[in-house]
Structure 1
Amino acid sequence: MTDGTIDLQALAAEAYIYGYPLVLNLDEVDRFSRKGMGSLAPAPFNEFSHAERLAGPDTPSADANHDTVYSVAQLDLSGGALLLTVPDTDGRYYVLQFVDAWTNNFAYVGRRATGTGAASYLLTPPGWDEEVPLGATRIPVPTEVATIVGRWACAGPDDVAAVQALQEDTHLEPYWTASGEPRGLPTHTYISDDEPELLFYEKLRIRMASFPPAPADLTYQQRFARLGLLDTQSPYTHPEPDLAEALRAGYAAGKEKVEQASSHEGNSEGHREGDEEQNGWQLSYHAFDYNIDHFEVGTLKDPQWVCADRELGRMLRATSAHTALWGKHGYEAAYAMAWHDSDGSPLEGEQSYTLRFEKPPPVDAFWSVTVYDLPDRHLVANPIDRYSIGDRTPGLSYDDDGSLTLRLQPQRPADPADDKTAANWLPTPDGRFRPVLRMYTPRAAIFDGTYELPPIRRS
């Protein structure tokens, strides 16, 4: 079907898939600046918000990370360039991940990408052509609004103070040539929340114009002219009946496609389209490979990490925004999830399981396993306040052959001979649960099949 003959409903569904990441992302940027997120307090544009503790059972966020403490800044470069300075972390793992308005991960600063020494970076808006100050590294930002998501390795509550000192030494400030006040997010024409479909397309219209994508996508956007998405004035306040009907139907169809592609047959406990599976683990190593246009500091422009098919990439971008907004490339941290044991039975909190690593996951930073309840995917309180376990866990006990057996079960293991099993115990919540294995700065063996994740077995 050609662009000229494609019906409006199908075109509206296509536009929904294309525009969903942009709309969702900037809605979250706006919400963060006003209300914060989880343990992160709200902060205005161009200022960091630093979490003051590790995530715990009272953290409302799904899949809360218990390995790192967060720092997040929403950037607005409409007033000019920003200077970012980072401290010397003395080898501690950290990453500052840069995400543009379209959810492209376009740069990384941190241990893997740039080392752990003190450094300065000049963040420049589109069209900037001035001199870079001596000693600073330029990071061109593809869109005037963007996000920095920072994660600092934290070994536990006693380590939080050291992380806070590093956070306090991480600064954003206007570069001296900055000439104006940041504009913030563009204001769209008022449309009632009672018309969510029309409101979505209105947000998409104004945000597409305010934050142009790469040239190839600018050309692609022309196909949406018939929907009014390229109009300079909103056509959605009093739309023609045929257009309104097509937008409402296309919104529903596009939303259903994104939700189905995000999980297996719409089951939130299933496997996302395109993910691989290994011994019962769902591997989401390539969920963020849709950026094929912007490769700045710390990114890998390697075919292994670039989804060259733009059509496939647009759906991948939408599903990743839907399930894991602001997630990072697998080469920075590789994630795997499991819902079932080695026999295919759902993981249940009243059962006991073993996870035996013949060899620990090959990483250059560290790895961990965290369990979450279902369906909320929250951390759940337990008697020993342990929410993750991994190579940084004090007292972890390895077998004589170098293997490591973790115990996932609700009660403390009873082993009168020694405390080895208790040292390797990760408490599980009541009911269904899902473990997540995180591997920071993974080595090539994780991706080329040389290393395989072990199955979870009922004990």
Structure 2
Amino acid sequence: MSERTAVSEENTEELVALAAEAYVYGYPLVHDLSMVQDFMHTGFGPLPPAPFNHFAHSGQPTSPEMHFVPFDNDTVYSVAQLDLSGGPVLLHVPDTDGAYYVLQFVDVWTNNFAYVGHRATGTEAGDWLVVPPGWSGSTPDGVRGVIDAPTSVVSVIGRNAFNGPDDMGRVRELQAQLALTHLEPGTHRTGLPAPDPDVPELLRFFERLRVWMADFPPSAADQAYQDRFQPLGLLEEGPSPYVSADPALVHALTEGLARGRARVEEAGRLAEAGGGWEMDPHLFDYNLDWHGVGTIDSPQWRIADREASYSTRAVAARSGPWGNHGYEAVYARAFRDADGEQLNGARSYVLRFERQPPVGAFWSVTLRDTSDHHLAENPAARYSIGDRTPDLVYGEDGSLTIHIRRERPTDPAAAANWLPAPGGDFQSVLRLYEPGPEILDGAYEIPAVERSSER
């Protein structure tokens, strides 16, 4: 044990507070790289596992039996984990002929630092060069642009709009044309840096944070902030200081972890009271340093207080990992009806849009259960309704009324607009792709879910 990690009783409480800060600061990195590791070994939900620099494609949209939360039912996913340690990677994207798609680039600190797709770069075919930090080579002819990665490992989250079972063939053809190739001969790693396996379970979060912080340094401003964690052993190189740590340090780290985790949970608690919708278009505005292709680099989309951004970043990693900036897509959630009562399948509801949500791409409403946030199962296997749903019945004034209930309505118009509800409590999720300014500034008011007596 080094002198830097020896702890006296006098400064234990101070170190507990510091360890709580370190947890909030470092949770996104540890969570993200744990997801990357899991993805490469076991896959996620509808996505099979894939090694570095290969895409994994979902062959179908998300369904309840997949039991996977972050993915939606409107798009079909293609995900790749890039390793740039051996040099740049060339990405080829196909022409989607105007159809919505997005490739979102996320560094290991969970910063969304680039977008390619419908909103950001258009839908024509092209090649993009993804380069590691500090790269200074020559860009090949014909490349549409260079995507500068802040870290040598990057997650690429691809979403293709999906218009129902008959559309799956088109999506599969597009997936087959996504390609990643190495620009230069070089040695690319096959896995992530390994924490010391002899570190006790209670301290493994901090061991992973120590090892991964060293291998994937953040921006200069964040590095200056994380220097404060030196007394915790997080900046030590070489053998782990946590294999035989001082008991006082073990106490400080474990108690700090518990406090930090509670802080993140508290900050992320949804405001479920009342009958309105909860939506945060700025949940991913914590990226303060890396604004590449397709991002919007403006004060509107940056959190002004850097230290406050760490808490927001942790909440985003906990509640919506790999989510987009609000200008690409935003989700609104309602747990209660207009009377403030929990939504429940024992009752019938209507959601009436006098005017459809103003979006540049499309929108949809989906139901999820409240326990694990999975898609709510129903015998009709209909999990969403939106502006792309065929055969909806609109009012003479252009309004759209969605009927949310367990049983199929007897009225033909209501049956066409039926969104089946589960038997128990549920939440309603409104997804808005390329939301317009009225949504982002709150000028457009999402209608409340109203209780209904219709059969």
- Shared topology, TM-score over 0.5? yes
Matches within 5 A, 1:370-385: 370-385=366-381
Tell whether 2:288 aligns with 1:292: yes
Measure the CA separation in 2 of the matches of 1:318 and 1:191: 27
Measure the CA separation in 2 of the matches of 1:316 and 1:244: 27
Match of residue 234 from structure 2? 229
Q: Which amino acid counterpart does residue 431 of structure 1 have in structure 2?
A: G
Which of 370, 391, 397 pairs up with 2:393? 397
Contact 1:387 1:426 in 2 (8 A): yes
Tell whether 2:259 aligns with 1:263: no
Q: Give 3-state SS (helix, strand or coil) of 1:289's partner.
A: coil
Measure the CA separation in 1 of the matches of 2:367 and 2:424: 12
Measure the CA separation in 2 of the matches of 1:63 and 1:120: 28
Q: Which amino acid counterpart does residue 246 of structure 2 have in structure 1?
A: E
Report the CA distance between 1:183 and its aligned residue. Answer: 5.3
Match of residue 141 from structure 1? 149
Measure the CA separation in 1 of the matches of 2:152 and 2:163: 35
Contact 2:275 2:334 in 1 (8 A): no
Match of residue 52 from structure 1? 59
Tell whether 2:218 aligns with 1:213: yes
Measure the CA separation in 2 of the matches of 1:101 and 1:178: 24
Measure the CA separation in 1 of the matches of 2:107 and 2:410: 50
Q: Which runs of 5+ in 1 are unaligned?
A: 265-269, 272-276
Q: Give 3-state SS (helix, strand or coil) of 1:102's partner.
A: coil
Determine what percentage of the aligned residue pairs are the same residue: 52
For residues 122-143 of structure 1, the C-alpha deviation after alignment (integer angstroms, 9 at most, x for no partner) is: 0000110011112211001000
Contact 1:98 1:149 in 2 (8 A): yes
Measure the CA separation in 1 of the matches of 2:250 and 2:441: 49
Match of residue 92 from structure 1? 99
Tell whether 2:172 aligns with 1:168: no
Report the CA distance between 1:182 and its aligned residue. Answer: 2.6
Measure the CA separation in 1 of the matches of 2:225 and 2:13: 14
Measure the CA separation in 1 of the matches of 2:126 and 2:445: 37
Q: Which amino acid counterpart does residue 356 of structure 1 have in structure 2?
A: R
Q: Which amino acid counterpart does residue 315 of structure 1 have in structure 2?
A: S
Match of residue 158 from structure 2? 150
Q: Which amino acid counterpart does residue 443 of structure 1 have in structure 2?
A: G
Tell whether 2:115 aligns with 1:108: yes
For residues 105-125 of structure 1, the C-alpha deviation after alignment (integer angstroms, 9 at most, x for no partner) is: 000000000000001100000
Measure the CA separation in 1 of the matches of 2:410 and 2:418: 11
Which of 360, 380, 384 pairs up with 1:388? 384
Contact 2:331 2:429 in 1 (8 A): yes
Q: Give 3-state SS (helix, strand or coil) of 1:80's partner.
A: coil
- Number of aligned residue pairs: 440
Report the CA distance between 1:63 and its aligned residue. Answer: 5.3
Match of residue 274 from structure 1? none
Matches within 5 A, 1:348-427: 348-415=344-411, 419-427=412-420
Report the CA distance between 1:82 and its aligned residue. Answer: 0.1
Match of residue 267 from structure 1? none
Q: Which amino acid counterpart does residue 133 of structure 1 have in structure 2?
A: P
- Residues 302, 5 of structure 1: CA spacing in aligned structure 2 closer, same or farther, 3 A cutoff? farther
Contact 1:278 1:453 in 2 (8 A): no
Q: Give 3-state SS (helix, strand or coil) of 1:392's partner.
A: coil
Contact 1:126 1:140 in 2 (8 A): yes
Measure the CA separation in 1 of the matches of 2:47 and 2:220: 35
Measure the CA separation in 2 of the matches of 1:300 and 1:426: 35
Contact 1:64 1:379 in 2 (8 A): no
Q: Give 3-state SS (helix, strand or coil) of 1:237's partner.
A: coil
Q: Which amino acid counterpart does residue 222 of structure 2 have in structure 1?
A: D
- Residues 248, 19 of structure 1: CA spacing in aligned structure 2 closer, same or farther, 3 A cutoff? same
Q: Which amino acid counterpart does residue 420 of structure 1 have in structure 2?
A: A
Contact 2:103 2:159 in 1 (8 A): yes
Q: Give 3-state SS (helix, strand or coil) of 2:340's partner.
A: coil
Which of 198, 201, 204 pairs up with 1:196? 201
Contact 2:70 2:320 in 1 (8 A): no
Match of residue 128 from structure 1? 135
Using structure 2 for the length normalisation, give the TM-score: 0.94
Tell whether 2:35 aligns with 1:28: yes
Report the CA distance between 1:6 and its aligned residue. Answer: 7.6
Measure the CA separation in 2 of the matches of 1:13 and 1:95: 36
